[in-house]
Structure 1
Amino acid sequence: MKAESSYPLKVMQTFEQQTLRKITDSSYLYDFGQNASGIIRLKVKGKKGDRIRIVPAEILDDRGMADQSASGSPYYFDYTLKGGDEEIWEPRFSYYGFRYALVEGGVPAGQPAISGRPTVERLQMLHTRNSAPEVGTFSCSNTLFNQTFKLIDWAMKSNMSHVSTDCPHREKLGWLEQTHLVGGSLKYNYDIQLFYNKIIEDMTESQLSSGLVPDIVPEYVVFEDGFRDSPEWGSAAVIIPWYLYEWYGDKKAIEKAYPMMKRYISYLESKADAHILSHGLGDWFDLGPKSPGESQLTPKALTATATFYYDAVLLAKAAGILGKTEEAKAYQKLAEQIKIAFNKKFFEPATGVYSTGSQTAYAMSIYMGLVDEPFKEKVFANLKESIRTSGYALTAGDIGYRYLIRVLEDGGASQLLYQMNNRDDVPGYGYQIRNGATALTESWPALKNVSNNHMMLGHLIEWFYSGLAGIKQQADDTGFGKILIEPQFVEGVDWVKASYKAITGDIVVDWKKEKGKSALQVSIPANTEALVVLPVVKEKLLNLNQKPLSQHKAVKKQYMGNGKLKIVLGSGSHTLNWTNK
């Protein structure tokens, strides 16, 4: 027996019916207005032996009936009455993802009674999830972005169980790729330190004698081929411990995971041919000419090998943190060998093109550090041009999109991200919302034949916080002790308000721009400092708390760099105003 190591599952929100529709004399369809993980609470009165059946569903079919064809069927709750007084019942051992509930065998209160049928006094949807505390808030002037934030957040909530599930109905399996790819977004909204440490424990227990960490943990189902062994999934064994160290300063996560990390890298080495991996699922659910599934636009070998390189780099860093100097050198050498092999196979120096020139091919090469210095500018320019020529449509999938966001933000191209995501006419977040989704779906075009509550494409929330609000960490910081505040003032967004409760304390950003002037209010936790980077070309154009910078003790340092004003501020609340020139 072991103590529970993560937050327990609890009822976190209650939904009442938004609409009620009669199907037959004794069957009615309830609409709760939100697709979410949960159970029902039934209040009913009737005779002993009467039975009520409740069929939950996340979508409706073309006839307007509850549709479980893509979410796992048959699934229903049956309740047999004991009779007499009013009865209240909730399921205790199973939950589902749903927005709708078809009630059969009873009549809702207020509807014409039928002799011999029980009365459903009340039916509620109880949203259940891992009770990890909320630690972030975000809003901005762009309505679609606020809706997108909510869309993704509901998929996050619905798939935070005791494992990080793919969906809250059909499978409820802990697919690993989303833990590290969406983790950068998830950590801004929820305190996931305990949750992710529990995932490390699951990965350690699930690792095979060969060193393989399967795509899902715990491995309740043994799949085959890429659905069991895909490097982009199993590499959570290396990436998650490192992220916990970065985000929370959690060195113990690396210490306990290090043997697993080593064994997994050794397994990947055994699968590689001249340092190139070619197996797995690749950029799952990218937008290609065929129905979504395994990678269509980017070779699987590219995403697998790029991830292999990233693993080796992180393991070298982890070894260094743990004082294992010789092992750190060995993994750094391995990384260098992978990089050489990768560029030999996938890069064309004359054109600056990686492989097929897909968004994922460019983004992963840049983000992982595989592009040599002389080619970085050209490769990044090619990426941006490929987005423009595609009409600003996104094509990257489950694996590549997170890296595309990071690369564009880090490269100062957040305006492109705005153009790609501030629309609803092509598959993406806005398209899903326009087509009625209330939680993020498994596919960019919100297909009905796949899950309609999936968090694996929820990468944009990271940009909302780190890009638009500018809340992030300085290079080599751990645990948000050295904070970086660098908002991206994109055209089309006039104000942003965000907060993040880091382990060091509350970080708050509130900025707006109006009539050629901008203002930024920022709160920095005690015993920390923040580097604030602003698009101000001259120091005299800016004041702090209505005074010149030179008159404030909170200003530890100020200087110009890359055409921007950089100010190191101590803890406290500060207001900066400047003229846009």
Structure 2
Amino acid sequence: MKNPMHRLRKDLFVLLLLLMTALDGKSQTFIRAALCDNRINPTGIDTGDLFFSWEIESSAFEVTQSGYQLVIASSPQKLGAGVYDILNTGRVNSGQSIQVRYKGQILAPARTFFWKVRIWDNNKKATDWSRDQHFTTGIFQEKEWENARWIGWEELPDSMRVVPFVHMRMKPGDCRIMPNAVSPLLRKEFAVNKKVKNALLFISGLGHYEASLNGQRVGKSFLAPGWTSYDKTVLYNTYDVTRQVRRGANAIGVVLGNGFYNISQERYVKGSGAFGNPKMIAMLKITFSDGSTQYVISDESWKKARSPIVFNTIYGGEDYDARLEQEGWNSAGFNDKSWAHALAVKPPGGRLLPEIDDPVLFLDSLSSFKKSVLKNGATVYDFGQNISGVPRIKVKGKAGQVIRITPAELVGPDGDVNQADEVAPHYYTYTLRGNGEETWQPRFTYFAVRYLKLEAVEGAGMPEILSLELLHNRNAAPSNGAFSCSNNLFNRIWSMIDWAVKSNLQSYITDNPQREKLSWQGEQNFMRTAIHYNYDVYNLYRSLIQNMKDAQHDNGLVPDIAPEYIKFSGPFVDSPEWGSTAILDTWFLYENYGDTAMIGKTYDMMTRYADFLGSRAESDLLNYGLGDWLDLGNVTPKGLTATAYYFHCTDALSKMAALTGRNEDARKYADRAERIRRAFNKKFFHPETKIYATGSQTAMAMPLSMGIVDDQFREGVLQNLVRNIQTLDSNRLTAGDVGHKFLVRALYENGHPETLFDMTHRDDVPVMATS
């Protein structure tokens, strides 16, 4: 008699084979995403720097790409019909699917092109085409702006220009102290008499702008365009407004805000000064079905008026008087006879370039879960989470009633909001127009906020609050991943870090959303890998690199902040742990995104900075800088962190030189890196004890993580690091901003995750051990 279990196993095996065969027959490989310039359907493309990437997905195993075909057409109809009049690569036998550079005819500026891609797998089977995609080329020559002018409310006299800004406030009596600059409304009507095929709006407004067409908002960006050194680079944005342009009468409306272009000092400021007064430039290109074009440009024919935004600064807040609203001002047919003509103003010094970063958007909203009434009648709302953001209110009341909204991260013992860390005052006021429900939010500023205090001012009484939200602004970098585990403490830590990262991802990476809002390079250097695990920051980092190129000094120094809105001194302008970002950002883009082209674009900046560090070194050591910022106990020598980063960026530069065929430079910087490594070990390492410097967590971890330790001493140094953490530090974290990430790497990558767990899995205050 046969064993029934044997028969059951045989039947199950046959069933499994049938199932696998069926699945294999249905397996499919397809293009999951197709990107141009690492973006979906991007605008403002530089035709000389055009590249494509795509992601492949398959339900089968061990599928690889053996070839691809990329096609581009001048219209969606031609693309669909297989008429690839711009580019047809045919089958290219290659496994490359990122950074595929365009090699074709020169593309016209301010045009939209349409493309798709397919691949062949390692079994020579072709996939279906990707979804149809498109990209719009930018404009890079002054003549391509079709004589568009920079226009504004009024010109700022050269004598009032203060760049870089004065740190904090100017001294009383300084003749350059100026009142808050006017935020004007600018409008232009135009007629369209043909069928529109395509309409593209190219626009920049400094410090920031919001544009509308026929009464409808153009785009969703907050604080556009991004922050730059306006004497070097000014960013513009491109919008496809085909659906908003209509036959007959049309109108463009633009409102301008101050941003970092003009900072008055009536309220809290980190720096005060001005590049100029708010201004804008725009060109609307309309292409008709018959192939003809029409241009609408900014010039003196535009009209101007004061906006209801009666005060705004990037640091101090914003005030809005709804009684000053002019209904229909941004629509055709509005009576603007009382408006004056716009003034043609001096252009900013910077070159107009397309913004290639993801926009800053409002991507989350929070509702309050708790509110309390203070003794003075004001109400404090708690939203339960500290974020970068602005309030949005819906109210109903009488004309002239004024609400004052004060954001804060903390509340005091009395329950009142507390703008700590010397960032007061920052607040918003809204004056009601008094004709039903009214909704408002600030347009040109933001703050770090968990609590909002609402109170009536000027004795007019409190209107009815219909709703109150907190809108969270951040860079719209796509998500790369997320984290969760069975340990609630670790989940909470990750959530806290993620909110902090999101709140500081703006058009550059800020140090904080309230006190400074500056782009300190340390945030990039110390956090780039951690940020990359959660967000695709390729586009952001390309923008950050441009800011560093603009900020580089004549002697090669790349300062600690870029843009360098405020010129600090000493280590706050030159600290190698901060400035070495100028080299390590490019290395990061190569290691994580496969971009070798960026090496060529930044090579001059990188070598000039490396040679600047060389000029400051003594016996291949750097003994200055900010050190291991915020370490507990101040126990790591400054020269150790500075020299370690000097080695790190020099070593990376030698590898990038080799990658791009600069063999002589590769040897030069490799030799220099080796000299730095030896000098570092001679200065800081004690072979007999296998301890670096003071034996601090940073002093031990940085050499281990950077490859500075000689091979014969690595295990001893590692064991001493672990022993010191467990005994001297009682598993407390003492490393500062500079050393922390190297501590994590040294432990995790060398077989000591349990030590890292013990240091992290605690909720007490991380003070120094007493024994």
TM norm structure 1:
0.70
CA 4–189 in structure 1, closer or farther in 2 if over 3 Å, else same: same
Instruction: State the match for 2:511 in structure 1.
Output: 166
CA offsets, 1:70-110, max 9 Å, x none? 1611000111111121110010000001000010118xxxx
Partner of residue 750 from structure 2, selected from 404, 411, 417: 411
Tell me the amino acid that sits aligned with residue 354 of structure 1: Y
CA distance in 1, matches of 2:599, 2:753: 32
Structure 2 counterpart of 1:427: 766
2-structure distance, mates of 1:71, 1:17:
25
- Letter matched to residue 302 of structure 1: L
Secondary structure, aligned partner of 1:259: helix
Candidates 68, 74, 77, aligned match of 2:425:
74
Superimposed CA distance per residue, residues 500-548 of structure 1 (whole angstroms, 9 cap, x where no aligned partner):
xxxxxxxxxxxxxxxxxxxxxxxxxxxxxxxxxxxxxxxxxxxxxxxxx
What TM-score, normalized to structure 2?
Answer: 0.53
Q: Cα offset for 1:367? A: 1.2
Which residue pairs with 1:255 in the alignment?
A: 600
Percentage identity across aligned positions? Answer: 46
Residue identity in the other structure for 2:538? Q
> What's the counterpart of residue 693 of structure 2?
355
Structure 2 residue 618 is the aligned partner of structure 1 residue 280: no
Q: Distance in 1 between matches of 2:715 and 2:709?
A: 10
Matched, 1:401 2:740: yes
Hey, what's the Cα distance between the residues in 2 that align with 1:24 and 1:86? 28
Matched, 1:336 2:677: no
Match for residue 392 of structure 1 among 726, 731, 735:
731
User: Is the aligned partner of 1:14 residue 2:365?
Assistant: yes
Q: Deviations over 1:357-408 (max 9, x none)?
A: 0000000111111111111111111111111112111100000010000111
How far apart are 1:319 and its partner, in Å? 0.2
User: What SS does the aligned partner of 1:265 have?
Assistant: helix
**In 2: Cα distance, 1:115 partner to 1:314 partner:** 64
Tell me the residue number matched to 1:240: 585
Match of 1:51 in 2: 402
For the residue of structure 2 that corresponds to 1:283, the secondary structure is: coil
Distance 1:46 1:26, change over 3 A: farther
Residue 19 of structure 1, CA deviation: 0.5
State which of 695, 704, 707 in structure 2 corresponds to 1:369.
Answer: 707
CA displacement, residues 476-506 of structure 1 (integer Å, 9 cap, x when unaligned): xxxxxxxxxxxxxxxxxxxxxxxxxxxxxxx
Q: Provide Cα deviations, 1:177-210, integer angstroms capped at 9, x if missing partner.
A: 1212111110011110000111111111111101
Q: Secondary structure at the match of 1:182?
A: helix
| Cα displacement string for residues 459-484 of structure 1 (whole angstroms, at most 9, x for unaligned residues) | xxxxxxxxxxxxxxxxxxxxxxxxxx
The whole-number CA distance in structure 2 between the counterparts of 1:281 and 1:115 is 51
Gaps of 5+ in 2: 1-351
Deviates more, 1:173-182 or 1:17-26: 17-26
State which of 312, 326, 332 in structure 1 corresponds to 2:650.
Answer: 312
Q: Is the 8 A contact 2:407 2:449 kept in 1?
A: yes
For 2:406, the aligned partner's letter is: V
Whether 1:297 aligns to 2:635 is: yes
Cα deviation, residue 62, structure 1: 2.9
Deviation string for 1:35-83 (max 9, x for gaps)? Answer: 0001110111111111100000011123322111216110001111111
Q: CA–CA distance in 2 between the matches of 1:98 and 1:71? A: 15
How far did residue 253 of structure 1 move? 2.1
Rate the CA distance shift 1:101–1:276 in 2: closer, same or farther, 3 A: same
Higher Rg of the two aligned structures: 2
* Alpha carbons 1:287, 1:396 under 8 Å: kept: yes
Q: Secondary structure at the match of 2:482?
A: strand
SS at 1:213 equivalent:
coil
Distance 2:616 2:713 in 1: 29
RMSD between superposed Cα atoms in Å = 1.6
| Counterpart contact for 2:374–2:415, Cα < 8 Å | no
- The question of 1:31 aligning with 2:376 is answered no
1:41 counterpart = 2:392: yes
Supply the distance in 2 between the matched residues of 1:323 and 1:52 (Cα, whole angstroms): 63
2:451 pairs with 97, 100, 118, which one?
100
Q: CA deviation at 1:115?
A: 8.6
Distance in 2 (CA, whole Å) between partners of 1:44 and 1:67 is 25
For 2:508, the aligned partner's letter is V
Partner residue in 1 for 2:339 = none
- SS class of match (1:30): strand
Are the counterparts in 2 of residues 71 and 169 from structure 1 also a CA contact under 8 Å? no
Q: Read off the aligned partner of 2:659 and give its amino acid letter.
A: I
Query: RCO greater where, 1 or 2, for CA within 8 Å and sep 6 or more?
Result: 1
Letter in 2 for 1:124: E
Distance in 2 (alpha carbons) for counterparts of 1:229 and 1:239: 16
Q: Within 5 Å, give how 1:445-464 maps onto structure 2.
A: none
1:264 is matched with which residue? 609
SS across alignment from 1:361 = helix
User: Distance between the aligned counterparts of 2:413 and 2:375, measured in 1?
Assistant: 18
Q: Which amino acid aligns with 1:13?
A: D
Q: Hey, what's the Cα distance between the residues in 2 that align with 1:26 and 1:128?
A: 30
1:136 aligned counterpart, secondary structure: coil
Deviation at 1:224, TM superposition (A): 1.1
Structure 1 partner of 2:131: none
Structure 1 contact 280–300 (Cα < 8 Å) conserved: yes
- Code of the residue aligned with 2:638 in structure 1: it is K
Partner AA of 2:622 in structure 1: L
2: CA distance between counterparts of 1:378 and 1:12?
49
- In structure 1, what is the Cα distance between the partners aligned to 2:766 and 2:590? 35
**Structure 2 CA distance, aligned partners of 1:81 and 1:73?**
25
Aligned partners of 2:400 and 2:460 also within 8 Å: no
